Amino acid sequence: MNSTNRAELAAFLRARRARLSPRQAGLPGAGSPGRRRTPGLRRQEVAQLAGMSVDYYIRLEQGRGPHPSRQVLSALARALMLTADERDYLFRVAGESPPPVAGPSREITPGSARWSSSARSCTLPTPASA
């Protein structure tokens, strides 16, 4: 990852962190928004949500970090509640191909098959004729 991509990744992470409130992220005891010096989440909160060290997240956000793994990028996308397009951008700016979008499964589970067959065998009462 070159320095241009690092700077772009850092700017993207900062912008997305600023946009997300502690309440939106579901953090307990977030306090009142008027008492925070910066908008959005703190770096420590993003690191906690993503399951990574605060130091590592700070280095990424300052453009000094190593090349983040796909696992780290996925964790950041979840922590920052990114849309599918934003997640794809995050992966691309980090030099990774975006993961495929998970669609509905075409597999029919045994429970779904039982429910479907029992629903078909049910007879509905017919309305009374007048």
Instruction: Tell which wins on pLDDT, 109 or 56.
Output: 56
**Segment 20-38, tens digit of pLDDT:** 988 888 887 555 555 777 7
Q: Give the CATH number for residue 14.
A: 1.10.260.40
- Return the amino acid letter for 45: E
Query: 52 near 72, Cβ under 8 Å?
Result: yes
Q: Does 71 score more than 60 pLDDT?
A: yes
Encoding tokens for residue 87?
């997640």
CB atoms under 10 Å from CB of 15, counted, come to 12
Query: Which of the residue ranges 37-41, 80-84, 125-129 would you say has the lowest mean pLDDT?
Result: 125-129
Rounded mean pLDDT, 100-106: 70
Query: 91 near 67, Cβ under 8 Å?
Result: no
Query: 10 near 94, Cβ under 8 Å?
Result: no
Q: How many domains does the chain have?
A: 1
15 occurs within a structural domain: yes
Range of the domain at 74: 3-24+40-93
Percent of the chain with pLDDT over 70: 74
